[in-house]
Amino acid sequence: MSSYQVTVRPGEKYWILEIPGVGVTQARTSKEIETMARDLIAVMTDTADAAESELEITMRLPQSVQHHLDEAQRLREREAEARAAAARETRAAAKELHGLGLALQQIGDILGVSRQRAHQLVNA
């Protein structure tokens, strides 16, 4: 089975697909990328096994766009970490309030959650 590197970059209206040693083609949508790459391989290499070939598809974006995407990912990771830390602190507060003898309804009122959620937090 053959293996091909497919580099995809946005063009003005279409995706541009470059396959070293094979050629260049376009795809209208991202869903067409694999099909168009396999079609190009089949036509240019005159082989029937293009459908079984392994494709490694790499998206190439302008550096400024990639920077924004990387920053967005970094911020999402920080957000997830902050949410996890907030959940730990909320559980700790619920358990401490329960340890002080407060009723689950009171704990829920303090935390802004239902009595049932307060019960879950205390027993987590």
Instruction: State the pairing for strand pair 54-59/3-10.
Output: parallel
Query: Could you tell me the residue range of the domain that residue 71 belongs to?
Result: 64-122
> What are the tens digits of pLDDT across the range 58-103?
999 999 999 999 999 999 999 999 999 999 999 999 999 999 999 9
Rounded to 5 degrees, φ, ψ at 11 are: -105, -170
Tell me how far apart the alpha carbons of residues 44 and 23 are, in angstroms, rounded to a whole number. Answer: 8
Query: Where does a domain end: 26, 44, 60?
Result: 60
Tell me how far apart the alpha carbons of residues 14 and 74 are, in angstroms, rounded to a whole number. Answer: 29
Q: Is 19 helix (H, G, I), strand (E, B) or coil?
A: strand
> What are the tens digits of pLDDT across the range 13-64?
999 999 999 999 999 999 999 999 999 999 998 877 777 889 999 999 999 9
**pLDDT band, residue 1 (cuts 50/70/90):** confident
Q: Which amino acid belongs to residue 87?
A: A
Tell me how far apart the alpha carbons of residues 40 and 118 are, in angstroms, rounded to a whole number. Answer: 60
- Report how many domains make up the chain: 2
The secondary structure element, H or E, covering residue 96 is helix 63-99
Same structural domain, 30 and 48? yes
